[in-house]
């Protein structure tokens, strides 16, 4: 099995995308239980950074809890507007997220692309907007089942990466996170094999290196997402170009997500 490069400096990132689950009262319960569980199991924050991405309506509550109790837990949003402010009903601006001290925001999640017709140009605008507001975008890319069956997952995903990062400077690219999420593996229980994840994550890093240089490519954390569980996370994380996971369903289960965060203590099966 491929292994991490010795001395690699990218700190693993485990981000829990709650999607449209948990109201702000329920968020308190999950965040408290998660941090207690991580403490109880002696989670080492140097070995993985743990982040939650709750719905917008939970963010102020999560901020108050994290800051009030000085929790070692990052948080962010699941989407951001490409606009600064104005008549965009239902949208949330980067300035609003920055005011809530969000560290991260997911952009271009496949569910946004599928249900809200977000294309690469809009994902590009949102990525640039997040960066301009000092929030780290987690740029989501990945192919559907038809593309995978045609064996086109690498060119398809690289085209999404090119589109999402168009016009960004090397410095901006070095500051963002990319999440490779094959759509056929999201919420289906169909996890990609570690080799499937590595193939595309490695191709993404090579593309970043071609366009922005090896130093930039070496800094970017590339996550895998799609049916990540405690029983498959260690072997996925053993891949050299996988620097963390974007976790959906399992992030709503405290014990499961805490175990995923502590992937470094699990055997790679
Ligand atoms: O953002 C998370 C991904 O969509 C993965 O979701 P999942 O872990 O439920 O498959």
Determine if residue 187 is labeled as part of a ligand binding site: yes
How distant is the alpha carbon of residue 218 from its chain centre? 17
Judge whether residue 4 has pLDDT over 60: yes
pLDDT given at position 1 = 42
Span 19-39, pLDDT tens digits: 999 999 999 999 999 999 999
Which among 141, 245, 249 is the best mutation to test ligand 1's pocket, defined by most ligand atoms within 8 Å of the CB? 249
Give the integer Cα–Cα distance in Å for 150 and 56.
37
Please indicate whether residue 187, judged by its CB atom, sits closer than 6 Å to ligand 1.
yes
Please indicate whether residue 226, judged by its CB atom, sits closer than 6 Å to ligand 1.
yes
244 C-alpha to center of ligand 1: Å?
Answer: 13
Span 74-132, pLDDT tens digits: 999 999 999 999 999 999 999 999 999 999 999 999 999 999 999 999 999 999 999 99
Look up 109 and say whether it is catalytic: yes
The kind and range of the H/E element at 60 are helix 59-68
ipTM: 0.98
Please tell me which residue in 181, 199, 212, 256 is annotated as part of the active site. Answer: 181
Give the integer Cα–Cα distance in Å for 123 and 217.
20
Determine if residue 18 is labeled as part of a ligand binding site: yes
Give the integer Cα–Cα distance in Å for 53 and 103.
10
* CA atoms within a 13 Å half-sphere pointing along the CA-CB vector of 77: 25
Span 35-75, pLDDT tens digits: 999 999 999 999 999 999 999 999 999 999 999 999 999 99
87 C-alpha to center of ligand 1: Å?
Answer: 31
- The burial of 235, by beta-carbon neighbours within 10 Å (0-12 exposed, 13-18 middle, 19 or more buried), is given as buried
Please indicate whether residue 248, judged by its CB atom, sits closer than 6 Å to ligand 1.
yes
pLDDT given at position 186 = 85
C-alpha torsion sign, points 248, 249, 253, 258: negative
**Could you count the other beta carbons within 10 Å of the beta carbon of residue 32?**
14
Give the integer Cα–Cα distance in Å for 176 and 187.
25
Q: What's the mean per-residue pLDDT of the chain? A: 95
* Secondary structure (3-state) at 223: strand
Atom of ligand 1 nearest to the CA of 110: 4
Please tell me which residue in 109, 118, 212, 256 is annotated as part of the active site. Answer: 109
The residue whose CA is least distant from atom 8 of ligand 1 is 248
Q: 74-77 and 49-53: which strand pairing?
A: parallel
pLDDT given at position 6 = 52
Give the integer Cα–Cα distance in Å for 202 and 239.
9
Give the integer Cα–Cα distance in Å for 248 and 269.
21
How distant is the alpha carbon of residue 19 from its chain centre? 12
How distant is the alpha carbon of residue 254 from its chain centre? 18
Atom of ligand 1 nearest to the CA of 53: 1
pLDDT given at position 5 = 59
Give the integer Cα–Cα distance in Å for 164 and 218.
19
Atom of ligand 1 nearest to the CA of 187: 10
Judge whether 71 and 33 are in contact, CB under 8 Å: no
The kind and range of the H/E element at 178 are strand 177-180
């Amino acid at each position: 099995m491929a292994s991490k490069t010795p001395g690699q400096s990218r700190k693993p990132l485990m981000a829990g995308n709650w999607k449209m689950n948990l109201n702000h009262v329920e968020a308190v319960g999950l965040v408290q239980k998660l941090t207690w569980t991580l403490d109880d199991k002696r989670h080492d924050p140097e070995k993985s950074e743990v982040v939650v991405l709750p719905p917008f309506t939970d963010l102020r509550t999560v901020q108050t809890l994290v800051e009030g109790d000085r929790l070692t837990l990052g948080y962010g949003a699941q989407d951001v507007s490409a606009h600064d402010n104005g008549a965009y009903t239902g949208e949330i601006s980067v300035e609003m997220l920055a005011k809530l001290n969000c560290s991260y925001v997911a952009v271009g999640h496949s569910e946004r692309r599928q249900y809200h017709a977000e294309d690469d140009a809009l994902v590009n605008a949102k990525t640039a907007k997040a960066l301009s507001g000092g929030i780290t975008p987690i740029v989501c890319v990945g192919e559907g089942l038809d593309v995978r069956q045609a064996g086109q997952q690498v060119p398809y995903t690289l085209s999404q990466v090119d589109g999402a990062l168009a016009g960004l400077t090397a410095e901006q690219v070095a500051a963002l996170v990319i999440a490779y999420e094959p759509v056929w593996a999201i919420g289906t229980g169909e996890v990609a094999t570690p080799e499937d994840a590595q193939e595309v994550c490695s191709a993404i890093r090579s593309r970043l290196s071609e366009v922005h240089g090896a130093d930039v490519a070496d800094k970017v954390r590339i996550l895998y997402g799609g049916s990540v569980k405690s029983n498959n996370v260690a072997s996925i994380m053993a891949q050299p170009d996988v620097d963390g996971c974007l976790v959906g369903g399992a992030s709503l289960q405290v014990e499961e997500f805490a175990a995923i965060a502590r992937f470094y203590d699990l055997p790679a099966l």
